[in-house]
Amino acid sequence: MRVIYLLIILLISLQSYSIYAQQNHPLAKLWGINDTEVLEWLDAEKYLIMIDGILNLILKQDNFISGFGGTYIDIFANWLVVNTVDDSKIGELLALTQINPYKESLHFEIVTNSMNKLNDYFRTIKLIADNYKPRGALIYPDMGFNNIVIYFFDSHINNTEFINAVEPFNPKIIYADNLIHKI
Ligand SMILES: *[C@@H]1O[C@H](CO)[C@@H](O)[C@H](O)[C@H]1NC(C)=O
Ligand SMILES: *[C@@H]1O[C@H](CO)[C@@H](O)[C@H](O)[C@H]1NC(C)=O
């Protein structure tokens, strides 16, 4: 699922791809829909991206940053998932005039890591990476996992020392080669 999500991001750049057959558009194949539906889906996604922009400016504010844990678009469900640590903040958020018109497009999911915490973990893990210099690794916050992901391109490279050092921050570790085997 996560790989599919990454692919979606990569393939968004293909949106001007011409549409002429049943299921030739790469996004149609990826999403399991007809070519004719691709434009509709891209429009729906653009709308959610727009809402996400507005929402994220607000979630950065002091009174919300420790109550929420990031957002991401679920194109299949056609909503914006709002990771929520403190659900007592939901009402306050929905009451805002900038957010209220879009409340139907929001889906609140209870998670454990606030944006504050994720930012701290990300900073710390990057510092550890500067020290241990892991090889073939991509480090990024992933809102779907509500965690920091460390993505290793090759499980044969020995990054044990680095992995042990970041363990206290409980990142999600993914090996690209294992993932490809599973798919
Ligand atoms: C694609 O279009 C065909 C014909 O219009 C329809 O029968 C089919 O259900 C559609 N597939 C999807 C995934 O919407
Ligand atoms: C990986 O590196 C660690 C620390 O340098 C070492 O103890 C371990 O034996 C290595 N593992 C393999 C499979 O080479």
Residue 14, pLDDT score: 44
How large a percentage of the chain has pLDDT more than 70? Answer: 84
pLDDT band at residue 22, thresholds of 50, 70 and 90? low
Shortest-distance atom of ligand 2 to CA 158: 1
φ and ψ of 147, to 5 deg: -160, 170
Residue 29, pLDDT score: 81
**Measured CA distances, 79 to 76, 102, 149 (Å):** 8, 10, 23
Residues with CB under 6 A from ligand 1: 33-34
Looking at per-residue pLDDT, the higher value among 147 and 1 belongs to 147
Residue 40: nearest ligand to its CA?
1
Nearest CA to ligand 2 atom 10: 158
